[in-house]
Amino acid sequence: MNTRSFAIRLLLAAALVLAGLVFAYPLLFMFTASFKPADAIFANIANPAALLPDAHWSLVNYRNVFDKSAVGRYLLNSTAIALITIVAGVFVNSALAFAIAKLKWRGRHGVLALVLALLIVPMDVLAIPMMLVVAHLPWFDVQQGGLVFGWLDTLHVQIMPFVANAFCVFLFHQAFKDLPDELIEAARMDGAGAMTIYLRIVLPLCKPTVATASIVIFLGMWNQYLWPVMTVQTGGARPVMVGLQQFFGRTNQWGEIMAYASLITLPVLVFFLVIQKHFVRSVVGSGIKG
């Protein structure tokens, strides 16, 4: 490696580190502020030393968050909603994409066109009609031991309408379309059916796409606000974002607000770190294909 090449790589590494610090600073400030009293948060905000632990740090803000709100329950609700939607959504969306991309049947191009058309329809347009529908749908209530009508104030009302995702269908369709047809035909010659090909061959080959779809679904469900506000009125099924808005009305202490924000941000970071390897592969693969 010559001197010029080494200097270019060094400058590139320095630029990446600087960009990383710029993007990470707001998160670092939020986490550090969550351990400080209100008067100490903005005292030396321009000093990078404000991010380092000092004598002001304590867990008081986190204790106050749990005392003033049911954040633990909200975190559990949002986690269940997001994870169930991911599992169901990956299966449903990828199955439809596989049927469109690799199975021969009349009308599949029209279905794909309908999926693409749904991409431009905003949630704000669908919210009221969807609420009118779910308010009268039947559901078997285990506690009551019978059939009840209306999904309001439940967890499944925040899950079922969002399992099917037009963007994820399109994402999987593009991934499946690039798989060689010879692979599918070879499996059929060995006696494999469509479901076997989908579950054992096609889906395992598209793990990066599964990771990308999981992130898209997770972020969408974790950040849900409008739909839960419309359909959930009790705290038993309330997600974290609605709980955050209510928490704003109970405190004006920035340390407590930062603590609440940190609690609802950590699961997102952990989830991304768990599947980042496959997500990076998806991004790199898309760049190579382009």
pLDDT tens, position by position, 17-42: 888 888 888 888 888 888 888 778 77
Residues of the chain with pLDDT under 50: 286-290
Q: What is the pLDDT of residue 288?
A: 40
Cα distance between residue 24 and residue 20, in whole Å? 6
Token digits for 180?
């060689």
For the chain, where are the alpha helices, taking DSSP H only? 3-33, 38-41, 60-68, 71-102, 108-118, 123-134, 166-177, 181-189, 194-197, 203-205, 207-222, 226-231, 240-248, 254-289
Q: SS3 for 56?
A: coil
Cα distance between residue 241 and residue 228, in whole Å? 9
Cα distance between residue 152 and residue 159, in whole Å? 12
In eight-state DSSP terms, residue 137 is: -
Q: What is the pLDDT of residue 287?
A: 41
CATH numbers and ranges of domains, the chain: 16-58 (no CATH), 71-289 (1.10.3720.10)
Q: What is the pLDDT of residue 282?
A: 55
Residue whose structure tokens are 């494999």 = 192
Count CB atoms within 10 A of the CB of residue 112: 17
pLDDT per position as a tens digit, 165-195:
999 999 999 889 888 888 888 888 888 888 8
Predicted TM-score (pTM) of the model is 0.85
Count CB atoms within 10 A of the CB of residue 53: 9
Q: What is the pLDDT of residue 279?
A: 64
